[in-house]
Every structure is written in C-alpha cells, then in structure tokens.
Amino acid sequence: MNKPLRIALTKGRLEKDTVGLLEKLGYDCTAVREKGRKLILPVPDGNLEVVLAKANDVITYVEHGVCDMGVVGKDTIMEMQGTFFELVDLGFGRCRFALAAKKGSPFYGGYKVKTVATKYPTITRNYFESKGMDVDIVKIEGSVELAPLLELADGIVDIVETGTTLKENGLEVIEDIVPVSARLIVNTVSMKLRQAEIENLVALIEKNI
C-alpha cells in the first residue's frame, strides 16, 4: 500500500465536522477522537494521516506539499491566497463576511476617512477598493467587535455566523460581503502524483455531502 495521504485539518469546529464526514465515508476515526494532545493521527482504513493545525498553517503545509490535502475555511483562503487546488465546497462551517458598525451609526455618512478594524486586512482592502472607497485598516487579532466599542474604529469586517456576538455588543451588519464555508484544498504536485487516490476520495466525499 502507498504511504498514507496526509490531510491537514483546521483545529476546532471544522476538525469536528471533517471527522464527522470521514466517519460518514466509513472510516474509523477513533485515534482522532481520542487524540489527547497528539497532532498527527492515523486513519488506517482510509489510508489517511490527519494533521491538526491552525487555519493559516493548513494552507502553509499544503502549499509546501508536506500535507497532500487540507480542510480550511474560504475566509482563510481568501485572506492568504497561495498556490493549491480548491476542489470541494464541503458545505459545513457556513458563515459570511460582513461589514458591521455600532447600531444606528452612519458608517457611510460624513467626509472623514473611515477606520475599519479586522482580522482580515487583505479581504477588507479588496472590498473597499472594489467600492473605490479609501479607508484606514487596523489589524486586530481577535474579538474585533471591541474596536468600534472602544472607538478605535468606525466599523469592522468580520465573520458573522449566528449574529449573536454583534447583537450582544450593540453592533449591526451594514452589508454582507461574501458567504464562507469549508473547502478541501490539494497540493498541486500531490494532485499529479496521487491523482487516482485523491479523485477516489473526492468522489466519495461528493457523494456524502
């Protein structure tokens, strides 16, 4: 048998959904479910090896070819870009990018250049460039909703899933930007060298989502 195909999963919720999907395909994911602090886990009956990583690192490992495939959100793909194939929309991890601001605040009012806080400066820059609008972008590492509350920013560009975080902090969506969901990505060389195995797995996944 070939060496296992290595698949990098984004730790957390996407990891759980992906393990659920692999089990639906009939693979025994006991080692992943009982992983403790281990980061590389076998899924022997699928001839897979699961690597658990942060979203940005999933892309780095797949781009460098040390992982053949990865599961990562479209948000991270749009922000990091990079060279790999994006093969399947897995349908889970659904949310959206939105521009939000304090409830009732006229984000588009006035002549002053607006300040926008975000964990995703590339997506934010592209979005406002496409509108021909000049904004100052401030990079924040987490809980971006704080920035308008602390009056560091006029608005935020962030992921909205249920909308609860915005609501509980007195913010509201001004505009939806783009929908987001988990994607299966594949290293370009792996796609050539292990085409049959990858295509079989993709076909199985497509049948089960």
Asked if 163 interacts with ligand PRP (CB under 6 A), we say: yes
| Token pair listed for 73 | 């959100």
**Binding-residue total with ligand PRP (CB under 6 A):** 12
Pairing type for strands 95-102 and 114-118 reads unpaired
Pairing type for strands 48-53 and 40-43 reads antiparallel
- Single out the segment in contact with ligand PRP by CB under 6 A; choices: 72-80, 97-105, 107-115, 154-162: 154-162
CB of 13 to ligand PRP, least distance (A): 9
d(CA 196, CA 154): 51
Window 122-151: contact mask with ligand PRP (x via CB under 6 A): --------------------xxxx------
The nearer residue to ligand PRP, 29 or 160, going by C-beta atoms, is 160
For residue 141, report the phi and psi dihedrals to the nearest 5 degrees: -90, -25
- Position among 2, 83, 130, 162 found at the interface with ligand PRP (CB under 6 A): 162
The nearer residue to ligand PRP, 12 or 44, going by C-beta atoms, is 12
For residue 88, report the phi and psi dihedrals to the nearest 5 degrees: -135, 135
CB of 23 to ligand PRP, least distance (A): 25
Asked if 174 interacts with ligand PRP (CB under 6 A), we say: no
Count Cβ atoms within 10 A of the Cβ of residue 39 and give its class: 0-12 exposed, 13-18 middle, 19 or more buried. exposed
8 A C-beta contact, residue 115 and residue 102: no
Footprint on this chain of ligand PRP (rule: CB under 6 A): 142-145, 158-165
